Structure 1
Amino acid sequence: MSENDRAGQFGPIYLPALQRIRDLWLELEPLVEDTSYDDVVAPTELQISLADALGDADAARLDIQWSELGMYSFHYVDSGDVNWRFDRHPNTHSPEVHFHPPPEAATTNVEASCIDVTEVSLVTRAVHTMWRAAYEDEDLDRLNTASSPP
């Protein structure tokens, strides 16, 4: 996610939240191939690599940020150039909690997110639940349609 996509304060990255998100994805998702941080000394992003992806793509990655203020970004990108994002951050173009739909996850194409929880484990479970439903049904429309996930 571009810093230009945000207006207002996102806050410093909260490493314990990224560690919890990593642990949950490892627990919940058998397709997790690898996890890493963008910087081992001062991480700002958790990267989760998946062994399979949505549709015809054969690999995917989630780039995740979580701040001390409870702001977040779960950005999915795959080998078929499909992108989508669940975000919570101040901005001028959408509600604070929003979804950037596939295939581009464009800043100008935003809808309200179906995620209405704010606790790190619950948000993580919600994103995973919707990703898994879209993966199993091979239907990108499943990504932001759950009622009060997780």
Structure 2
Amino acid sequence: MPGGNQSIGIPAGELTGDVGPPDVPIMRAIRSVFQRDEPLVDDASFDNVLQPQELQLQFRDGIGTAETCRLDITWFRSGAYRFHYSDSADRHWRFDRHPNPHSPERHFHPPPDAPAHTAAGSCIEVVEPALVARAVHQLWRRAYETESLANLNTANNPP
């Protein structure tokens, strides 16, 4: 891992500890959750076949005016994770769990650009990978159906 404190998708300045390598079997299980539960998932693949670091879920529609969107997911063996949403309207948000200097360990980076300095505590309290995936999916689905990013982090311990 470059620099010891940097992991795929999490800038070094946002980490205060090592999160370890990606957990590929867990990311495969997360992929199954989304493929089973979300009909708008067009593609669910890894960034690299031989050394997967990130699961990339491509959706055929996005929230509000976005025509498409993607969730980039990395689950680490330490239990840290990153679910990063980006869409064709150039909006971003993230649900993360990792040690950092700016917010609680479980936190949410709000849209439109998911900056580190505005991260707030996450409404997702569960830690089991399939439940975290279901929670992120539920929050994404609610935003999709309401066509609004306003309430992404306002549920009571989803799913």
TM bucket normalised to smaller: over 0.9
1:46 aligned to 55, 61, 64, which one? 55
Find out whether 1:3 has 2:20 as its counterpart: no
TM-score by length of 1: 0.98
Q: Aligned with 2:35: secondary structure?
A: helix
Question: CA separation in 1, counterparts of 2:92 and 2:68?
Answer: 12
- What stretches of structure 1 move > 2 A for 4+ residues in a row? none
Q: How does 1:26-105 map to 2 (within 5 A)?
A: 26-105=35-114
CA-based RMSD of the aligned residues comes to 0.8
Q: Aligned with 2:116: secondary structure?
A: coil
Please give the per-residue CA displacement for 1:54-91, whole angstroms capped at 9, x wherever unaligned: 11010001000001111000000000001000000000
Q: Aligned with 2:73: secondary structure?
A: strand
Matched letter for residue 129 of structure 2: V
Q: Which runs of 5+ in 1 are unaligned?
A: none
Question: CA separation in 1, counterparts of 2:108 and 2:19?
Answer: 17
Q: Which runs of 5+ in 2 are unaligned?
A: 1-8
Tell me what 1:17 maps to: 26
Question: CA separation in 1, counterparts of 2:64 and 2:117?
Answer: 24
Identity, in percent, stands at: 51
TM-score by length of 2: 0.92
Question: CA separation in 2, counterparts of 1:3 and 1:141?
Answer: 25
Question: CA separation in 1, counterparts of 2:35 and 2:83?
Answer: 16
2:151 aligned to 135, 142, 145, which one? 142
Matched letter for residue 121 of structure 1: A
Matched letter for residue 50 of structure 2: V
Aligned length: 150
